[in-house]
Every structure is written in structure tokens, then in C-alpha cells.
Amino acid sequence: MANHPEHCAGSIYSAKSWVWLVFSLWYFFPVYYMPMTPFGKTLLVGAYLLFVSLYLWAITLNAQQVWKPILGISLLALAITPYTPGSGTFFSYVGFLVGFSYRTKIWLAVTAFLTFMIIGMHFYFKYPLPYFAFPALSGLITIGIIGYVEKLRLEARISQQKSYQEIEQLAVIAERERIARDLHDILGHTLSSIALKAELAEKLLSQEKHEQVQQHLSELHQIARNSLSLVRQTVSGYKHRGLSGEVMELCEKLRQKGFLVDLQGDIPQLTPRAETALILALTELTTNVLRHSNGNHCQIEFSQQGDKILVSMRDNGEVKTLVPGNGLQGIQERLYALMGDLQSSVNKGCEFIISLPRNELQQQGS
């Protein structure tokens, strides 16, 4: 029905939690087999509207505050039971809220108390078994179990995401240490050699040994050029892992945030300039999905159509309008420089289609 782990600071119930209210219409079923006065029907409708208000309030609260609507729904069911056995429907929602919001001992204790209360009301008001006690108890217990299991599942998912984040942080730290170690190995010896050569050249110059000074300066020049070339080679390895590696990394980021990712088509080999532009574009689009989409599915597709290379990215978030910001404008500018384009549309989610000219393809082994 909803998402509401106890340790979270605010409510993270699903935006569609109100849909589950459709099952509460069973509350009106006794109208078809029990005679009711106009006052009784008015009371029935009024109690139902109050229940809906309490439920909608509950799905906005965290676990520290949700006891208030839970208590309200329970008292409402107790008050309306003398007029209709349909009040048993309310206990299904109470069961889920308690099972999802609280830990095992509290959930079991509250469920046991409500069970005895339902049985007591059943015998006190002398309702036939199928009309009150059975639906009330079955809903309280079974839906409560569903809520409890859903809470455990969500807690496990949050714990897994935290583990992924910790792994990412450790990977970043390890990468920084590797870069620092590489730069130290590359530049430490080189700068020491340069300092030594410069010191020798200075001493020889003071002794007017110009030929030896010229030799040291030539060696100094060669050391500097070799070091510059080595630094460039090292830094180029840090820039990115190629289009395939970056796409896989973006897919993993989406999966870690709860998205089901569908990667289709063959990732093409592009020229370095086109590859960099496409990596930056997909990174920006992925960031937009993670920040603004409330969906749970994303599709990335590579294809070729005529003289164009197409890359589409779709998600199933609920978006009515799309207002391009600086990020999308930056993508457009980079693609225009390559004679490419970016098209966007909104239809049961956002869809972005990147097109590049086919001449940006890089042949295998070239």
C-alpha cells in the first residue's frame, strides 16, 4: 500500500497510495443486505469521509507521528461498528499502517490488542461471523503481514543502497590515492633530476665552463619534454573509460537508485570528439532522470537510421511539461558543433533522442 520505514525522517509513501482506497468501498457492502434509516446512511457516508481524511493524513507522516491517524481510524471503526459491520474494512488499513511503520514487537502487540477488540465487538453487537469478525480479522492480519514484509524489503533496499554508496566512496578514495601515487612516481624523480641538473648548470656557469653548461641544459630540456609526454599519457588515461565503459557506469548508477534499466542496441565506436560529446550528453540526461523523474524504468537504445546515429533515452516518470535548462542547452550546443541534434518529447515520461552524423563513426582498428 505504501512505503514508510520507521527510521526515515519523513514520509516516503508512494505518490499513488491513494489508489488503495478503492478496496475501502467494501465498507458500503452491508447497505445491500441491512435496512438503514436516512440518518444511518448519512452517518455511514460521514464516517467514510472521515476515514479517507485520516488515511490521506497518515500517508504524509513519518513513523513517529503516524500513530495519531492509526488511533483515529481505530476509534472511528469502534464508533461506527454499532451501525454497520462494514467498519471491519477499516482494520485492513490499520493493519498495514502498523505493520509498515513499527518494529516487530509493537506490530504484534497492537495486532493482538485489535484482535481481542474485534472479537469483543463481534460478540457484543451480535453480528453474524462472515459479516464483521471474519473480514476484520483477515484484513488486519494478512494486510498487516504484507505491510511488515514490505517494510523489511524497503529497509533491505535502503541498506543495499548505503552499501553501494560506501563502495563508491571507497573506490573514489582508492582512485585518488592511485592518481597521487602515479603523479608522485612520475614527477618526483623527474623534478629531482631537473633540480639537480639546474644546480649543476648554475655552478658550472659560475666557473665559465660553457660547454658543460650547454650539455646539462640540453639534458634538462630532454628530461622536461619526456616528463611532459609521460604526464599527458597518464592524464589521458584518467579522462574516461570510453563510451561503453561510461554507459555501463551510468546504467549502474540508475540501478542503484531503484531504476530498472533496459540497454538495447550495439554501442558504436565513435571519433574521440563525438564520443566525448555523447558521454557528456548521456551523463547530463542521467542526472536529470535521477533528480527529476519519479519513475522506475529507464531505457537507453543505440541504433543507426540512414546517415544518422541515434541514441534514445526514455523514462516512465510523470512529467506534464519539459522546460529546457542550461544542461540541455549545453548538450544542444555540443551536438550542433558536430552537426548533431537533440530532440525531446513528453509522453508517459520523458524521451530524449540524440542524433549524430554517420561520418562520426570510427572504424574498428582505426
Residue 4 included in any domain: no
pLDDT at 302 over 90: yes
Same domain, 122 and 61: yes
Q: In DSSP terms, which residues pair with 314 in a beta bridge?
A: 299, 351
Same domain, 306 and 225: no
Same domain, 201 and 317: no
Confidence at residue 310, expressed as pLDDT on a 0 to 100 scale: 94
Q: Select from 161, 184, 215 the last residue of a domain.
A: 161
pLDDT, tens only, 221-265? 777 776 666 666 555 555 556 788 888 888 988 888 888 989 999
Same domain, 41 and 152: yes
Residue 8 included in any domain: no
Q: Which amino acid is at 246?
A: E
Q: Select from 112, 141, 161 the last residue of a domain.
A: 161
Query: From CA 23, how far away is CA 229, in angstroms rounded?
Result: 70
SS (H, E, C) 195-239: HHHHHHHHHHHHCCCHHHHHHHHHHHHHHHHHHHHHHHHHHHHHH
Query: From CA 6, how far away is CA 106, in angstroms rounded?
Result: 12
Confidence at residue 337, expressed as pLDDT on a 0 to 100 scale: 84
pLDDT, tens only, 99-135? 888 888 988 998 899 888 888 888 888 777 667 887 8
Judge contact between 131 and 85, C-beta under 8 A. yes
Buried b / exposed e across 9-39, counting CB within 10 Å, b at 16+? Answer: eebebeeebeebeeebeebeebeeeeeeeee
Quick one: DSSP state of residue 249? H
Q: Select from 181, 205, 239 the last residue of a domain.
A: 239
Residues written for the chain: 366
Query: From CA 140, how far away is CA 121, in angstroms rounded?
Result: 15
The residues, any chain, with a CB within 8 Å of residue 179's CB and separated by 6 or more, are 238
Same domain, 146 and 22: yes
Same domain, 212 and 341: no
Structural domain boundaries, residue 191 = 173-239
Query: From CA 130, how far away is CA 108, in angstroms rounded?
Result: 24
Mean residue pLDDT of the chain comes to 79
| Beta pairing, strands 308-315 & 350-357 | antiparallel
Q: Is 13 helix (H, G, I), strand (E, B) or coil?
A: coil
Judge contact between 178 and 219, C-beta under 8 A. no
End-to-end CA distance of the chain: 56
Quick one: DSSP state of residue 38? H
Same domain, 61 and 144: yes
Same domain, 247 and 350: yes
Grid coordinates standing for 59?
500517508
Judge contact between 90 and 133, C-beta under 8 A. no
pTM metric for this prediction: 0.45
Q: Compute the 3-state secondary structure of the chain and give helix, strand, coil in percent, each to the nearest 5.
A: 65, 10, 20
Q: In DSSP terms, which residues pair with 261 in a beta bridge?
A: 298
Same domain, 89 and 38: yes
Confidence at residue 352, expressed as pLDDT on a 0 to 100 scale: 92
What are the distances in angstroms from CA 74 to CA 65, 130, 197, 326? 15, 20, 87, 51
pLDDT, tens only, 64-85? 888 888 889 889 888 888 888 8
Same domain, 279 and 178: no
- When mean pLDDT is compared over 244-248, 270-274, 350-354, the highest value belongs to 350-354
Same domain, 220 and 297: no
The number of distinct structural domains making up the chain is 3
Confidence at residue 366, expressed as pLDDT on a 0 to 100 scale: 41
